[in-house]
Amino acid sequence: GAVVSQHPSWVICKSGTSVKIECRSLDFQATTMFWYRQFPKQSLMLMATSNEGSKATYEQGVEKDKFLINHASLTLSTLTVTSAHPEDSSFYICSAGGGSLDTQYFGPGTRLTVL
Amino acid sequence: GDSVTQMEGPVTLSEEAFLTINCTYTATGYPSLFWYVQYPGEGLQLLLKATKADDKGSNKGFEATYRKETTSFHLEKGSVQVSDSAVYFCALSGGSQGNLIFGKGTKLSVKP
């Protein structure tokens, strides 16, 4: 099946720094990518929808200036957590897919720890 | 809004035991329902799905039936294996952006 990769798989950073997370579809083109956030023992919560060549659509309560999303090509979306703080520590998961929901493919996730 | 509730884990079973993971949902309209599995260190993988009432999704010995009358989509397997140890997520297609709405996940550990 299709493969989605995320990089890095984990990152530790100091408070106030910015962190970029990459999501790549390795063997297919993804017109839409989704970014989710998962807290321990919680559901995956959608943060934003990233569409190639257009601005991302953010869910209510998600700060677009803090979580910058760029989907510059059909195989790459990036999430940049700007001026990270300890409360941003979480597990970030991306998924990529086309028009049919059962063709959403998930990355392995990125564990972010902000000290 | 739409939501998914699934039983909290962890669930610990012996090999060859019967598995049930309960999942109920609330939704406006008629969503598709999914079970995803996440093995350690890997991304979520689609395990099975059902797109309308009374549909049964099945894969790798797992089954789930879309029950509209009880708004449920319980996951079952007759005989689990150690290799089934993973986190299982119930989800529905209710998101406004075409995204999935997930339950909290249930961790399953199968002991030999």
pLDDT tens string A7-31: 999 999 999 999 999 999 988 888 8
Q: How far apart are CA A91 and CA A84, in angstroms?
A: 14
Contact status of B105 with chain A (Cβ, < 8 Å):
yes
Residue of B nearest to A37 (CA): B102
Tell whether B1 lies on the interface with A, counting CB pairs under 8 A.
no
In the structure, what pLDDT confidence band is assigned to residue B42 with cuts at 50, 70 and 90?
confident
Model confidence at A98: pLDDT above 70:
no
Q: Kindly report the backbone phi and psi dihedral angles of residue A109, in degrees, each rounded to the nearest multiple of 5, phi listed first.
A: 95, 160
Which residues of chain B are within 8 Å of residue A108 when distances are taken between CB atoms? 41-43
Contact call for A43 and B4, based on CB within 8 A: yes
Shortest CB distance from A43 goes to which of B93, B98, B103? B103
Distance CA B40, CA A63 (A): 30
Nearest to B36 by CA among B108, B111, B112: B108
Closest by Cα among A36, A37, A88, A29 to A53: A29
Q: Which residue of A has its CA nearest to B10?
A: A41
